[in-house]
Structure 1
């Protein structure tokens, strides 16, 4: 039942008498509280969530959503799986791995956001590293929960390089671009636009960097999605539907007016540089959310065959113990109607 329908039922109940009305209105006054963890610190592309909050979309669905910063796209998945959070914005590939290993603990994807693979290894543009083969014998760095780092074994297999000949070092995420430019590592893992604009914030122009993109070597993967706990999906499906409707509206607002959207981010993190975050937002929409398939299936949805191929890539490359079914990883059951998801990106 939608929140609007719930209110109508409550109003009808009041007409039957005070006692019945009291019973009917009690649940209507209580909002469903949800805790959500993001993929990363507060940045431009996350404006969709803050707009859903600031524009009253969560509230209209009877939801009280707390949104926390994250520590990597891969980290959001176990935090939802272990019950710390009800909702996460995390890497669907990390979810595939969890489903393959511990299906009983796994959350479920309910709204795909990044439908293009953003995974990359960034190197210095004036250096000798240009192809995956050039990485052998070098040192690469990344945060422990970085999605690109977690997918590196699969990338090595598809790119036909020997991972064992590459040294991997962990680093604090905020030091990534600095360590690369200072020559402490030869390359760094990350999402293209995370690295590009984080580098810009420390004075490094994009022409100083070169990107070895996973998508150029056969890794046509989905990336970040809204995931919810199995418990929430089972016990309160209406809350999940309301959550997805609200985020879908926030995303539409963000795409329609990116510049104004940055104000919602700045409310949470006053120290951001608005122009840089605006550029990051626009680049993310163009490069990570603009797969041609959305013209047919709409925002938030997946192509089941494409997801199946992605699952097969990860299972084979990472030698996962089981092969998850698509419906164990993602369900379209909570999506708004297609007409509400055909927002034009450009």
Structure 2
């Protein structure tokens, strides 16, 4: 009996020693993530990744905040307040020319086709970029479409100084156009198209859209970017972040009703019908492109990026032209087989 007790005690001690030798689970990596805008259907996948536990599965503790403009995402990360975010590639290029060590790097391109456009009423005398001189243009100061307006003007021979710029709140830009307080607004199609639908207007019949890509400015747009510090010190965290978001994008697109329902649980004031339409519209028009089907979601064409960098560097007279590797890094992407664009669910 004594021998049995001793043996049991030995086994207990041995088991305790084995448990003590097991490494403690590392603390989750905290990532402060900023969106580009106020909460919309196109942000559903970030919250899907959080609520479904995909961030947690990668040992990440991700906090998601609303944004104030795609270009502002870059400055928010450069300030050190945020570690990552969803914002504009072109703002990265401009900042990388002067502050490369502080500028975030794009690691997952989402808007393969840029949503930059000018919006005016269908009966407006503004039919092309060349008509902007001497007119009133409204724009949120942090918007990427506004930041790129000098480039658009230069590409079309317009004196930028002759455009009367009015700063407007993001939620009032379409209303100011409707009320005649401005003649045109510099917008994201991803936002304004569905905003007009929500106002019970016909975006195609009642308005004229002048796309930057049709006026000599073919650029990439929004994607997921991270700070240089996070990329260098926590590369596995960046890979985990993209793995979780990539999975969430595919699942949210395949089941948009469930994705919007999840988003509405966080923000009950959203119009679920409008935001579902927005998600599908943006995915179909800006994300699921021929290039994305060839390269997979998140990746880009090096030649196209190089051309875009040259265009921006020349237009803004940047002191130097950043190399493509300074502004985009595909090393953190999930395998291509996991990034093929899904079909939109019903």
Asked if Structure 1 and Structure 2 have the same fold, meaning a TM-score greater than 0.5 normalized by the shorter chain, the answer is: yes
Contact 1:312 1:323 in 2 (8 A): yes
Structure 2 residue aligned with 1:52, among 49, 52, 57?
Answer: 49
Q: What CA distance in whole angstroms lies between the structure 1 residues aligned with 2:222 and 2:160?
A: 25
Contact 1:111 1:300 in 2 (8 A): yes
1:280 aligns with 2:278: yes
The aligned residue for residue 237 of structure 1 is: 235
1:293 aligns with 2:286: no
Cα pair distance change 1:170/1:20, threshold 3 Å: farther
Q: What CA distance in whole angstroms lies between the structure 2 residues aligned with 1:16 and 1:204?
A: 73
Cα pair distance change 1:290/1:25, threshold 3 Å: same
**TM superposition shift of 1:130:** 1.1
Instruction: State the aligned residue count.
Output: 331
User: What is the RMSD of the two structures over their aligned residues, measured on CA atoms?
Assistant: 1.6
Q: What CA distance in whole angstroms lies between the structure 1 residues aligned with 2:134 and 2:34?
A: 37
Cα pair distance change 1:216/1:16, threshold 3 Å: farther
For the pair shown, the structure with the greater C-alpha radius of gyration is 2
**TM superposition shift of 1:289:** 0.8
Contact 2:117 2:186 in 1 (8 A): yes
The aligned residue for residue 119 of structure 2 is: 122
**Can you list the C-alpha shifts for 1:14-39, whole angstroms capped at 9, x where unaligned?**
x98645644644234x2211110000
Structure 2 counterparts to residues 67-216 of structure 1, below 5 A: 67-206=64-203, 207-216=205-214
**TM superposition shift of 1:345:** 4.1
Cα pair distance change 1:153/1:16, threshold 3 Å: farther
Contact 2:138 2:185 in 1 (8 A): yes
Q: Normalization by structure 2: what TM-score?
A: 0.92
Q: What CA distance in whole angstroms lies between the structure 2 residues aligned with 1:129 and 1:176?
A: 17
The aligned residue for residue 10 of structure 1 is: none
Unaligned runs of 5+ in 1: 1-14
Q: Normalization by structure 1: what TM-score?
A: 0.92
Q: What CA distance in whole angstroms lies between the structure 1 residues aligned with 2:114 and 2:228?
A: 26
Contact 1:117 1:219 in 2 (8 A): no
Structure 2 residue aligned with 1:249, among 238, 247, 250?
Answer: 247
Out of 245-254 and 204-213, give the one that drifted further.
204-213
**TM superposition shift of 1:134:** 1.7
Q: What CA distance in whole angstroms lies between the structure 2 residues aligned with 1:174 and 1:150?
A: 18
Out of 295-304 and 201-210, give the one that drifted further.
201-210
The aligned residue for residue 218 of structure 1 is: 216
Q: What CA distance in whole angstroms lies between the structure 2 residues aligned with 1:322 and 1:291?
A: 31
**TM superposition shift of 1:291:** 2.3
Q: What CA distance in whole angstroms lies between the structure 1 residues aligned with 2:200 and 2:182?
A: 19
1:317 aligns with 2:304: no
